Amino acid sequence: FTSLKELDLYDNNLLKIPESIGSLKSLERLNLRNNELTRLPTSFLKLRSLKNLNLSWNNLRDLPKWIGSLSALEELNLWGNQLETLPDSIASLSSLKILDLNFNKIEEIPPSLRELERNNELVIKF
């Protein structure tokens, strides 16, 4: 499975993702929409080819600081979670084009992310 490019695990009521997901080094698209996730495994750090990550409709209350290490990420969908804030490291996602934050508890976008929005044609849905 190391050459797998796309993985859809949506609508499965998953409570967690196994650390072994980090072995999918070629993964470009990961759809985890509509599960019961409350956290992300640190092995996500190994997903250096990941361009599209859909985490919509889960139970995420916060994002790990290491999220900013996913440097290839172009689209991050966080629609419908319980997020109140974003880590500053998210501004390190220099390839990011779309960030969907609709239906969360976030009241303001960090200034560092606004700067990224101006410089990279980033679309923030809020």
Domain residue ranges in the chain: 6-125
Homologous superfamily in CATH for domain 6-125 = Ribonuclease Inhibitor (3.80.10.10)
Q: Where are the beta strands (DSSP E) in 1-126?
A: 6-8, 29-31, 52-54, 75-77, 98-100, 123-125
Please give the share of the chain, as a percent, with pLDDT higher than 70: 100
Task: Name the more confident of 95 and 116.
Answer: 95
Report d(CA 62, CA 84) in Å as an integer: 7
CB 123 within 8 A of CB 97: yes
- How many residues does this entry show for the chain? 126
What band does 120 get if pLDDT is binned at 50, 70 and 90?
A: confident
pTM, entire model: 0.93
Give the tens place of pLDDT for each residue, 34-79. 999 999 999 999 999 999 999 999 999 999 999 999 999 999 999 9
Q: What does the mean pLDDT of the chain come to? A: 93
Q: What is the mean pLDDT of residues 79-96?
A: 93
Res 118: pLDDT: 75
- Helix, coil or strand: residue 75: strand
Task: Name the more confident of 21 and 107.
Answer: 21
